[in-house]
Amino acid sequence: MTTTGTKDTEDRAMTAEKAMDPAAGGPSPHGESFGEPDSAWQELVTAALLGAERRVLPGGSAAGLLDRAATATVRARAGATAVAPGPFLAPSGDDSRSEIPRSAVARCRTLFSGARGSSYVATSWNAHRPHPEQLLPEWLELANHLGYRPPHIQLPLVLDAARARDHREAALAFAGPRGRWLAALNPSWQFATKVKHAPSPPTTGAVDVSLWERGQFAERVGVLTALRAQDPAAGRELLAGSWRSERAEERLLFVDLLRDGLGPADESFLESALADRSRTVRSAAAELLTLLPGSALGTRMTGRALASVRLREATGGAGPELVVTPPTACDEEMQRDGIVARAQAGQGERSWWLQQLLEATPPSAWSEHLGGRSAEEIAALPVTAEWGDTLRLGWVLAAVRHDDRGWARALLGDPARPLPGGTANAGRLLALLPADDRAAWATGFVTAQGLGAAGDVLSRCPAPWPSALTAAVGAAARTSWRVEKHHPSTHAAVLVMAQHFVHIQEARPMIRRLAEEASAAAEVERQAEAAAREAAKNTRTRPAIPGDGVAQGWQRAFTTFAHTLELRAQMRAELLDGAPDPHR
């Protein structure tokens, strides 16, 4: 064969290999592929495509290559990486939960298979079929509420689907102790150790500290996590002993692991980390120090923030107002304490420095500074115009960092009033509140402000939405259609979200009624269109078609909506398996 022919054959083989590569968007050649793409598997694929004449086959023969491929497939489906022979692994922790009902097993596999490692982008407002990523949050919420666990064979699917941050905590809670045990054996699932509110793995037994020196990164994370749970000081000292030899990305994760069990004894180590050569490590250490009550860094940052805001009586007897004076420079000490000197794009330097100071300051510090006023009273005070938005944004970020529910309520305030910084800030604050309180505030927001800017707010309300919120969204949709004459695509994102979150029983009659109205209006549109075409049949000019298809668009939207509601009802019935629905 000529050289050109050989090159063409190899090019075709590489093209075929790429088509089979899951990372490139093609199908997995063995049906299952968990974690990151495996270079060893790609080598097997390449060798098989090129053949023994052009490549030395792994395993020494075609049969040997197939044996290796079969072994790799089993390992991928098991969710564990290959390891050298050694002592048996310690068993996973017990999971006393019941497995999901048999009626829900197929749905579980379908949802997690479709959502695992998903690069999902929200489908259009009138898509015929919902994406598994859209259905998974409600399914997970109900499965966790009922106290179910996944079938063990589906744990790798659950862990891969947990890559998506939107439902990571719920997926890992569903995976349970055996899921976390399995995640520790595969570096591709290291993210499972970083979830803030995930239950910690069992730590009643002795921790094998030797793995800190010789184990893989995931095993070292497990050692530090377990040791911090048993003896925070021992965990900190273990990390300090190897700190200088760790890579920057490892130091960053290890610092974050100190969040669990954080106490005054950690301050000295974290202060030393403020001199780290990596900016991200310095920032992580500074953030933990701001969360440590009474820390020297927290005191310094709070002092700077309080010095930038003072109370004065407004002219003309209008009452007190806040005067804001941001820092005029970002000195070396401020930068060492975690303040980033270079401003974000589109934001002035002084505003950027002030925002960081405010975020680091515990919201509780403002009450004493401003005469004992409550969070609601402080949030209602007028602010000098130039820095008002920066001040309120800093307070929002501080409430989120310090998990201050009282300040979140105060900053949200009246849902009918515009929130400085937009609905993205409202979403951040709502995340701190209980689900019922989120839904109540969102109901007021949609009632007063409609669907136009409701996406960030509604996305914080878990499915299924309560009756009041479902009714408010339905009323806003009717107003958009009947009064404002909007096309359904105007609120596409909200419409897509609503069909997966509204209360099923409450939404059915509303959607049925709207669908009937839309069908009648669509028929009127079609008749008008037909009449216009008939009238223009003998003319050369293009007929003017009455209407713009709004009713036909809403008819398609409501038909899709009704289909999704039925699918959700079936999905819930499978999990409930005859038990009463807690949301009915």
Clarify whether residues 200 and 316 are in a common domain. no
Residue 36: predicted pLDDT: 46
Shared-domain flag, residues 67 and 121: no
Number of domains in the chain: 3
DSSP 246-261: S-HHHHHHHHHHTTTT
35 and 107 fall within a common domain: no
Residue 562 belongs to some domain of the structure: yes
| Under 8 Å between Cβ of 308 and 325 | yes
Judge if 57 and 107 occupy the same domain: no
Q: Which of 69-83, 119-133, 230-244, 528-542 has the highest mean pLDDT?
A: 230-244
Q: Tell me if 116 is assigned to some domain.
A: yes
End residue of a domain, out of 78, 95, 116: 78
- DSSP element (H, E) containing 492: helix 492-501
Model confidence at 51: pLDDT above 70: yes
Would 30 be classed as within a structural domain? Answer: yes
* In a shared domain, residues 350 and 436: yes
Identify the domain boundary among 61, 78, 95: 78
Do 109 and 74 have their domain in common? no
Q: Is the pLDDT of residue 295 over 70?
A: yes
The verdict on 500 and 547 lying in the same domain is: yes
Position 119 scores a pLDDT of 45
Q: pLDDT digits over 543-559, tens only?
A: 555 555 666 777 777 77
- Asked whether residue 352 falls in the same domain as residue 494, the answer is yes
316 inside domain: yes
407 or 475: which leads in pLDDT = 407
The answer to whether residue 329 sits within a structural domain is no
For 288, the domain range is 103-298
**293 & 312 share domain:** no
> Looking at per-residue confidence, does 532 or 431 come out higher?
431
Q: Is residue 330 part of a domain?
A: no
Q: At 137, list the tokens.
A: 């949050």
pLDDT (mean) for 226-236: 90
Contact (CB, 8 A) for 34 and 185: no
**In this structure, are 427 and 286 located in the same domain?**
no
Does residue 96 form part of some domain? no
| Helix residue ranges, H only, 243-308 | 248-257, 267-273, 279-290, 296-307
Q: How far is CA 466 from CA 247, 265, 447, 475, 501, in A?
A: 48, 45, 14, 14, 9
- Domain co-membership, 186 together with 62: no
- What confidence tens digit (pLDDT) does each residue in 460-472 have? 898 889 999 999 9
The verdict on 267 and 312 lying in the same domain is: no
pTM for the full model?
0.69
Tokens of 164: 């998506």
Total Cβ atoms within 10 A of residue 270: 21
* Domain assignment of residue 85, yes or no: no
List, for residues 197-214, the tens digit of each pLDDT value. Answer: 444 444 445 777 888 988
DSSP state of 148: E
When mean pLDDT is compared over 106-110, 120-124, 415-419, 553-557, the highest value belongs to 106-110
